[in-house]
Chain A
C-alpha cells in the first residue's frame, strides 16, 4: 500500500473526527523492548511495528498474558479503529497488510495441542490457550471487518472470500468444532458474525451455489452459535431456498441416522426449516417473527397442504394474532382442504355480533362455503347480503364479489324453496344480483358463466346462449365447462346439429384424456336425434377411453385427480342400457345393466332402468319393486318417483291420489321435469280436472322445447 495514497485519503476525510494527534508517545523505549520478545512472530520481520502499548484494552490484556502485540495484531487494532469511525476505505488499507495464513499457522499448534496437554499441565495450557485465542481473535476479527469493509464498498465477491477465510481459519484452528465453554467471547462473536455474514455476501455476489453451501455449513457444522443467530440464519436460508430461483442439490446423506428426514428439494428443505423455526418459538428459544408464518403459509398453500398449515396456525400461542384473524386464516385453510364444515364453524364464531360481524372477507368466505350446500344456502344469503352492505361502506372493490356470491346462494336457495312463488322470487333476485355484479365487473368470466347457468336453469335459453358464447370468448375456449354449457344450451333449444358442431370443436380443444364428458354429451346428442347406430358408436368410443383410463390409473384411485371431470365406466354402461331399451333391444339392455351392476351394486339409476324393462314386459309388480328399491337407495331419485307415479296412474282410479302424490313430489324436487308434468296432467285428466290437466300438459310441452341432454350443472 502506498503511503501517499493513505495520506491523501486521510486528508480528504473530515479531520474534525480525529482527536488531535499532537501528543507524542511517552513510551517509545518500552515498545522497542517489546519488539525483541516478539522476534520471528511476524511474517514481515523488517517492517516490525514499533507498537505503543498505550492504554488500549486489548493490547494491554495481550501483554498481561505474556504475548506482545505483533505486526498483524497492531494492524488489526488500528483497522478496527478506522472501521469503527466509518472510514471503511482506510480500514481496508490497514487490513490489507495482514497475512492471515501466517497468523493461523501461529495459532494453530497451541490450540490444537490443547486437548493433549490439558490434563498434564492444565494451568499453563489454559493460559497459553487464552493468550493465543486472544491474538487469534484480534486477527480474525480484523479479517471479518475487512470483509465488512469490502461489502460496504460494493465488492461482495472479495468480501465473501475474506469472510470465508475467517471460517476456514477457525475450522483449521478448532478441528473438532468450537467447544462451548473454552472460547473467548470476542472470538465467538467474530465467528458467529462471520458465519452469518458469509452466505449473505455470496448472495450479493450472485454466487448462489456458494451461498447455499455456506448456509448448510453454517447450520450443519459446530460453530457454537447462539439461538438467535442460528434462528436468523435458518430463516434466511429458508427464504433463499423458497425464492432464490436456484435449483438446489439435496444435503448429503452422510451422518444421517436411520429414519431421519432428508429433504430432497428446495421446498422440502425450506418447509423443514420454517417448521423448526416455529417450534423453536413455541419452546421459547426465540422471539416471534411474523414473517416465518407467512413464508410457511406461502410454501404450504403452493403445495395445497393447507390442512397442515392449519395445524401450525392452531399451535400459535394466543396473543399473537387477534382471534378473529386467526379464525379467518384457519377457515381459509380448512376450506382449501375441503373441510367446509370446520371452516364454516370458525367463521360463524368470527362473524358473531360480539366479534367482528362486519369483516367482509370472512363474510364472503362464509357465503361462498354456504353457497355450495342447499341446506346452508339461506345462511349464505344472509352473509352475502351483509357483505354487499359492507362493501358499499368500504372501498367498493369487493361489491361485485359480494353480489356474485349472493347470486349463487340465492340460486341455490331457490332449488329448495318450499313454494313456486318463493322459488320464482329467489330466482329473480339471483339474476338481479348477478346482473348487478356484472355491471360492476365486466371482466370476470366466472360471473358470466354463473349467469349463463342461471338463465339456462330458468329456461331462458336465449340469454343463456349469449352468456355461454361470451364466456368462451372471454376465456379463449380454454375452459371446458364453457363448451359444455354452450353445447347443452343448444341441445335444450333442439339445435342438435349445432350442438354437435360445438362438441366437436370442444373435442378439438381438449386433450384425449379429458374428452370423456364431451364424448358423453355427443352420445346423448345422437340419442336425442334418434341416431341409434351413431349413438352406439359414440358410446363405444367413450367406453374405450374410460377403460383405457381405468387401466392407466389402476384401480387405486387416489382422489387427488379431479374426478368430477371423469366419466365413470358405470355411467357408460348405464347410458348404453338406456339406449338399447329405448330401441327395445332388451337382451342388449340387460347385458349392459349387468355390466353396470357389476361396477356399482347398489345404484338407483340401475334399479330404475331395470324397473323400466320390467314395466315394458308388463311385469308390473317387479317394476314397482325395482322403482321402490331405487327410492330406498336414493330417497330423492326423481326418475323413480316419476315412473312410480306414471305406473300407478295407469292402474285405475283408486291409485290416482298416490300417483299424484309421487308426481308432485318429483316436481317439488325438479320443477323442470317434463315427464312428471305430463303424467300429472294424465292424473288430473283421469280425475276429471281438465283445466289442471291442460295446465300440466302445457307445462310439459313448453319444457319439452327446453330440455338439455343432461343437467346444466356438472353432475
Chain B
C-alpha cells in the first residue's frame, strides 16, 4: 500500500467520492452524484463495469493499485453497506487473482484486500472455531416431525461434520494457503449472496468455467446453446488448482446461482455450464465427494421445477348472462 494514503473512508459518500477520483472519466457523472451512494456502489451497472474492468485490466492488483487500496479502505470502514459493496467484487477479485497467482505475479494489492476479507471472516467465525454441521437423525423428534421414541429415552447421538476448518490468522498469503484464504473469502461472499446483484454472480460463474479448465469437454451442442463466455480479449483466464477447501465454497455459490431464488434464466444457464465444467474437473481425478456433489448439481439443473399450483375452479358457472348483469350492477355502483 502506498504511503501517500488517501483520505479515510467513513461513509458511502466518501467511498463514492474516492472511487470517482480513482476511476476518473470511467465513472459517469450521474453516478458520482447519486442520491444513494451505497446502493450505487452495490448495484449500479456503470460502477460495476468500471470497477470490474479495472480489476481485470492488465497490471491490476499490484501493491500500488489504487483501486485495491480503495476496496481495502472501503471494507475496513466497517460500514456494513460498504462491506457489501466490496463483497460484490469478490468474484472478479478472486477470479483474476487466482488466475494470475498461478503465474506468480506480484499481487500485493489483491492480497491485501483478500486478507482483510479473510480476517473479517475469521473474526466472524471466532478463533479456532470450525464450522460444523450436526447431522439430524430422524430417531430424534424435531420441529418438523415427531419421532416414535419414548420421550424419556435418550436422544440418539448425532454425527457432526466439519464444513470448514478453523480459520487461523494469516498476515500474508503463502502459496500453499492461497486456496484456503480465497475459499474463506468465497464463503463470506456466499453468506451475503442474497444481497449481491446478478452481474456479480454472472462474473463468478464465468470465472468458475475458467478455473475448472474443462470447457472443451462440454458437448458441442451445449456450447452453441449457451451464451459464449465473454472474452475481453485482453487476458485468458486459466485453470487453477481447486483443492476441496476452494472447490466446496465454489460449488455452494454455483448451486445458489443454479437453484437459488434469483429468477434469472441467463444466470441459471451460466451456472449450469459452470456446474458441468466442475463435474468434469471432479472426474479428472475421480474425486468421489466432488463427483457426487457436482453430478447432483448437473442433474438438478436438468430437472424441471415444480410450478406453484394454480387455483382450481370446481363447478362451472352456468348462467353467464345473469353474472353479466351482476357485473354491470356492481360496476355501476362503484361509479
Contact = CB atoms under 8 A, between A and B. Distances in A.
Interface of A: 1, 3, 6, 18-25, 47-52, 54-58, 71, 74-75, 77-78, 80-81, 83-84, 94, 97, 141, 144-145, 148, 186, 189, 193, 196-197, 200, 203-204, 208, 211, 219-220, 232, 234-235, 239-240, 242-247, 251, 256-265, 267-268, 271-273, 275-276, 279, 290-291, 294-295, 297-298, 300-306, 308-309, 329, 332-333, 335-336, 361, 364-365, 368, 397-398, 400-401, 405, 441, 443-446, 474-480, 508-511, 513-514, 560
A203 B311 contact: no
A444 B322 CA distance: 75
Contacts of A78: 323, 326-327, 330
B22 to A, nearest CB: 28
Contacts of B161: 303-305
Contact of A513 (B168, B258, B284, B314): B168
13 contacts: A21-B324, A52-B329, A148-B311, A243-B255, A245-B192, A261-B155, A262-B142, A290-B299, A294-B303, A298-B255, A301-B290, A401-B283, A476-B178
B326 A52 contact: yes
Contacts of A513: 168
B225 interface: no
Contact of B151 (A251, A257, A301): A257
> 5 closest pairs, A vs B, by CB?
A245-B193, A54-B322, A23-B321, A259-B155, A336-B288
Contacts of B314: 186
Contacts of A242: 255, 259
A301 B289 contact: yes
B120 to A, nearest CB: 14
A267 B163 contact: yes
Contacts of B234: none
Interface of B: 101-104, 133-138, 140-145, 147, 149, 151, 153-155, 158-159, 161-163, 168, 170, 174-179, 190-194, 196, 213, 217, 239-241, 243, 248, 251-252, 255-256, 258-261, 263, 280, 283-286, 288-293, 295-297, 299-300, 303, 306, 308-315, 317-335
Q: Tell me the interface secondary structure of chain A in the complex.
A: helix
Contacts of A3: 331-332, 334-335
A275 B136 contact: yes
Contacts, number: 301
Nearest to B195: A245
Contacts of A333: 288, 292
Contacts of A290: 299, 303
Given A56-B323, A335-B288, A479-B241, 17 more contacts: A1-B334, A3-B334, A23-B321, A52-B325, A52-B329, A243-B261, A245-B196, A268-B133, A279-B138, A294-B296, A297-B293, A297-B295, A302-B163, A332-B291, A405-B286, A441-B284, A446-B285
Contacts of B293: 297-298, 301-302
Contacts of B283: 361, 364, 398, 401
A400 B134 CA distance: 39
B147 to A, nearest CB: 8
A476 B103 contact: yes
Nearest to A211: B261
A550 B178 CA distance: 25
Nearest to B292: A301
B284 A444 contact: yes
Nearest to A475: B241
B286 A368 contact: yes
A148 B307 CA distance: 13
B153 A259 contact: yes
A186 B175 CA distance: 64
Contacts of B324: 18-19, 21, 23
B296 A298 contact: yes
Contact of A260 (B104, B141, B308): B141
A333 B289 CA distance: 7
Contacts of A203: 261
Contacts of B325: 21, 23-25, 52
A49 B326 contact: yes
A246 B194 contact: yes
Nearest to A219: B144
A308 B141 CA distance: 18
B241 A478 contact: yes
A329 B293 CA distance: 11
Contact of A243 (B136, B147, B256): B256
Nearest to A48: B333
A58 B317 CA distance: 9
A591 B332 CA distance: 107
B319 A261 contact: no
Contacts of A478: 101-102, 175-176, 178-179, 241
Nearest to A276: B145
A260 B323 contact: no
Contacts of A23: 321-322, 324-325
Nearest to B255: A243
B138 A56 contact: no
Given A220-B143, A271-B135, A480-B176, A301 B334 contact: no
Contacts of A303: 133, 135, 161-163
Contacts of A305: 133, 135, 159, 161
A167 B288 CA distance: 46
A160 B295 CA distance: 35
Contacts of A361: 283
A476 B300 contact: no
Contacts of B260: 243-245
A300 B280 CA distance: 20
Given A74-B330, A294-B299, A306-B289, A52 B138 contact: no
Most A Cβ at <10 Å: residue of B248, B303, B328, B330: B330
A513 B166 CA distance: 13
A200 B334 contact: no
Nearest to B220: A395
A247 B191 contact: yes
A336 B175 contact: no
Contacts of A54: 319, 322-323, 326
Most A Cβ at <10 Å: residue of B145, B194, B248, B288: B288
Contacts of B313: 80, 84
Nearest to B143: A251
B242 to A, nearest CB: 10
B83 to A, nearest CB: 14
B151 A309 contact: no
Contacts of A240: 261
B104 A477 contact: yes
Contact of A81 (B104, B299, B323, B334): B323
Contact of A75 (B136, B193, B330): B330
Contact of B289 (A94, A234, A336): A336
A197 B326 CA distance: 30
Contacts of B288: 306, 332-333, 335-336, 365
Contacts of A6: 331
A12 to B, nearest CB: 16
A83 B320 CA distance: 14
Contacts of B163: 267, 302-303
Nearest to A7: B331
A476 B309 contact: no
Contact of B140 (A244, A261, A514, A560): A261
B6 to A, nearest CB: 31
A108 to B, nearest CB: 24
B241 A445 contact: yes
Most A Cβ at <10 Å: residue of B158, B255, B297, B308: B308
Most B Cβ at <10 Å: residue of A74, A145, A333, A364: A74
Nearest to B179: A478
Contacts of B326: 25, 49, 51-52, 54, 74, 77-78
Given A1-B334, A186-B314, A257-B151, A514 B176 contact: yes
Contacts of B306: 232, 235
Contact of A244 (B136, B142, B261, B317): B261
Contact of A308 (B135, B147, B168): B135
